[in-house]
Structure formats: C-alpha cells, structure tokens
Amino acid sequence: MRKFRLLAPGPTEVPPQVLQAMARPVIHHRTPEFEALFEEVRRGLQWLFQTRQDVLILAASGTGAMEGAVVNACSPGDKVLVLKGGKFGERWAEICQAYGLTVIPVEIPYGKVADPAAVGEALRRQPGIAAVFATHSETSTGVLNDIEAIAAVVRKTPALLVVDAVTSLGVVDVPTDDWGVDVMVAASQKAIMLPPGLAFACLSERAWAAAGRARLPRYYFDFLTERKSQAKHQTAWTPAVSLVAGLKVALELMQAEGLEAIFARHERLAAATRAAATALGLTLFAERPTPAVTAVKVPEGLDGGAVVRLLRDKHGISIAGGQGSMRGKIFRIASLGYADAYDVLTGIAALEFTLAELGYPVRLGDGLRAAQDVLQK
C-alpha cells in the first residue's frame, strides 16, 4: 500500500468535493445551467481577485494568460520593463521577445527580492516604457515581491503594470484594484485547488483601454473578444466545462474559509516549514520568502536531485527541485492550496528521513518539533 502526496508548488492536491464535481456528467456550455454556473464562478473570482473588474476564464495553463497579457497590452515596437528574478520573470521576457517587443530587463539576483526603487530608477532612465512585467510570488526561487510598493512606483508613470499572481493569488493578500495593478494573471492548479487547465486574467480600466489600442496579433487570447462573450456568461471558445464545474466548488470552499483565514493558514504553514528547515541546519534561499513555497539550499556535498527523487520514489511525496540554473542547488517544498498542518509535518518527517538516508547529519524530530512550535501558536 503506497500513498502519494503533493507538496509541490503546483499542481497541488485537489479536494475530494472538487474532484467529485468534475466527475459529474458534462453539461453543454450553451445552456442556462452553464451560464448560471459561469456567472457564479465569475463572481467568486472577483471576490478572490478583490476586484470590481471582470475576471476572464481561459482554457489554458498560466503561461497562456501571460501571453494574453502581453498581446493585449502592447503594440509592435513597444519598450517594456521586465523584472527578472527567476524562471517566471524570465518567461515574461521570453514572451515579450517572441512578440518583438524591446525588453529592458531589471536583473534581480536569484533569491533576492525586486527593489521598488530600482524599478523607479529604470523607469526614469528609460522614458516611454509601455508596460512593466512583474512576478508576485517567484515560484522558482521562493521569493515574494512587494507588488504594492512596485505598483506605487509604476503608478507615477504612464506604464501599465502586469503581474503574474499564479502562486500568490489565494496565498497572500492580492488586492488587485487597491494596488492599481493593470493586468493580474493566475492559474487553476495552485491555491485555487483545481487541476491545471484554467487560466485567469483581470484587467483595469486603463488596461482595457490599452487592449483597445494594442496592435500585437492575437486571436485565441484576444481579451476583448473574450470579455464580450463572458459578459454574456459564455466564453469565446469552448470552455473547459469540467474544470469550471470544479472551480465553483473550490471557490465555495475558499469563501467558506475566508480570505483572511486562507492567508493566515498559508503563512503559518510556510513559517513552520521554514522553522523546520532552519532547525535541521538547512539554509533558506529566498531573501523575502513567499508562503507559497519554501526554497531550501541543498547543503554542500548533497545531491539535490537525489533529495527530490528519494522523497518521491521511496516516500511518495512530490516536492520540486531547482529549475534551470538552480537545478541541484535548491529544493522547494510547498504547502499550497488544499494543505494543512499535518501535510506540512508529513513533509518534514519525510524530509528528515530522506536527509538521513542520504548521509546528511540530521537528528530525527528536530525539524518536526520546530514546526510544531510554530503550529501550536
């Protein structure tokens, strides 16, 4: 008998109620039943995004919504500022470059937080920036950027602010309207507790006006077409109806818990994970850690890939290794979405076993007790 557990920063575990909702017979999308469902999830998403704007629902993974943000905000020849502090910041740059935009990078060393003053400085040095692309929770390094402060800086210029909130939405406070973020994108398989396959985008009035002027080519991700359809409780293209049915239940679960409680839970679980890692003599990688995922440096002499493989193959627990240039240098444990204190303790117990099995000097229980001390508070 083997049990499998997901402690990776997405896909995350999906609650049984949500799995059940997705297993119900498929309904046709051009029916009053679907339209009522769609209207309800759109209201739920507005609550989650803390916005009065429409939240578009796309059949795509998060990268699709990121591409949509680029092609609806920009025009050929535009100069854009991209905050690059990890794989997902780099993805913004790659998408912008694929569409021929001039990318001015703000290079942030991996593990460090974006400096809002540096963003302001870059905007001053490069007048005429059309949009600033940022990552709220940089999943590849475990850093949480200060979007509120970055937004305050960007708001002093005419540039649009586009934010990847894929692993921050439903984890930390993301008051889209209050911060003045122009395009906020997210995806289903993180804190929203769904399988992958849905992506979301929320645009400010300024961003909608920009979309009306934007001249990059687009069709599947044309947000104007999508907005027109979604106002009639339909999508422009056939929606992923089973995921939308699951989304309804997932949003109900989130609303029953409440935003404040959700944020507090994620912070508490991440604090316990960080305390455990520190108690085991490990070093955290992120300067300003996101509660979505805890990035831990692989100690000298240890094979980072082996930690991930052993946890998975022997202990049945999926965490994440380092991506790209971080491969083998960090591992990342998440307690994201449908996760509680016992999931975290399970992950820590397994990590202790794994480190011991790999010959790293660990006293079993040290990490667990440190985590319990945090969790008891």
Beta bridge partners of 58: 199
d(CA 33, CA 74): 36
258: number of Cβ within 10 Å: 10
Judge contact between 80 and 133, C-beta under 8 A: yes
Q: Is 364 in the site for its own copies (CB under 8 A)?
A: no
Q: Is 35 in the site for its own copies (CB under 8 A)?
A: no
Q: Please count the residues of this chain forming the interface with its own copies, following the rule CB under 8 A.
A: 55
Q: Which residues contact 65 (CB under 8 A, 6 or more apart)?
A: 58, 185, 186, 187, 199, 200, 201, 221
Q: Residue 142: exposed, middle, or buried by beta-carbon count in 10 A (0-12, 13-18, 19+)? A: buried
Beta bridge partners of 294: 333
Q: Least distance in Å: CB of 146 to its own copies?
A: 26
Instruction: Work out which of 47, 208, 220, 263 binds its own copies, going by CB under 8 A.
Output: 220
Q: Is 218 in the site for its own copies (CB under 8 A)?
A: yes
> Residue 62: what residue type?
G
Judge contact between 108 and 83, C-beta under 8 A: yes
Instruction: Work out which of 238, 257, 303, 363 binds its own copies, going by CB under 8 A.
Output: 238
Tell me whether strands 198-203 and 55-59 are parallel, antiparallel or unpaired: antiparallel
Q: Is 22 in the site for its own copies (CB under 8 A)?
A: yes
Contact track, its own copies, 276-315, x by CB under 8 A: ------------------------------------x---
DSSP 165: -
230/242 with CB nearer its own copies: 242
Q: Is 367 in the site for its own copies (CB under 8 A)?
A: no
Mark the segment that binds its own copies (CB under 8 A) among 188-196, 276-284, 299-307, 360-368.
188-196
Q: Is 13 in the site for its own copies (CB under 8 A)?
A: yes
Q: Is 10 in the site for its own copies (CB under 8 A)?
A: yes
217/359 with CB nearer its own copies: 217
Q: Least distance in Å: CB of 298 to its own copies?
A: 17
Mark the segment that binds its own copies (CB under 8 A) among 21-29, 257-265, 294-302, 345-353.
21-29
Instruction: Work out which of 35, 40, 222, 287 binds its own copies, going by CB under 8 A.
Output: 222
141/189 with CB nearer its own copies: 189
Tell me whether strands 330-334 and 293-297 are parallel, antiparallel or unpaired: antiparallel
218/297 with CB nearer its own copies: 218
- The CA-atom distances, in angstroms, between 88 and each of 110, 167, 228 are 11, 11, 29
CA 346 to chain centre: 23
Instruction: Work out which of 212, 217, 359, 361 binds its own copies, going by CB under 8 A.
Output: 217
Q: Is 328 in the site for its own copies (CB under 8 A)?
A: no
Tell me whether strands 5-6 and 317-318 are parallel, antiparallel or unpaired: parallel
3-state secondary structure at position 60:
coil
Judge contact between 10 and 199, C-beta under 8 A: no
d(CA 367, CA 349): 8
The structure tokens listed for 107 are 């290079």
Q: Is 221 in the site for its own copies (CB under 8 A)?
A: yes
Instruction: Work out which of 37, 41, 55, 59 binds its own copies, going by CB under 8 A.
Output: 59
Q: Least distance in Å: CB of 32 to its own copies?
A: 8
Give the residue carrying structure tokens 């796309």.
58
366: number of Cβ within 10 Å: 16
Instruction: Work out which of 36, 43, 77, 98 binds its own copies, going by CB under 8 A.
Output: 98
Contact track, its own copies, 141-180, x by CB under 8 A: ----------------------------------------
Q: Which residues bind its own copies (CB under 8 A)?
A: 4, 6, 8, 10-14, 19-20, 22-31, 59-64, 67, 94-95, 98-100, 187, 189, 195-197, 216-222, 236-243, 312, 318, 320
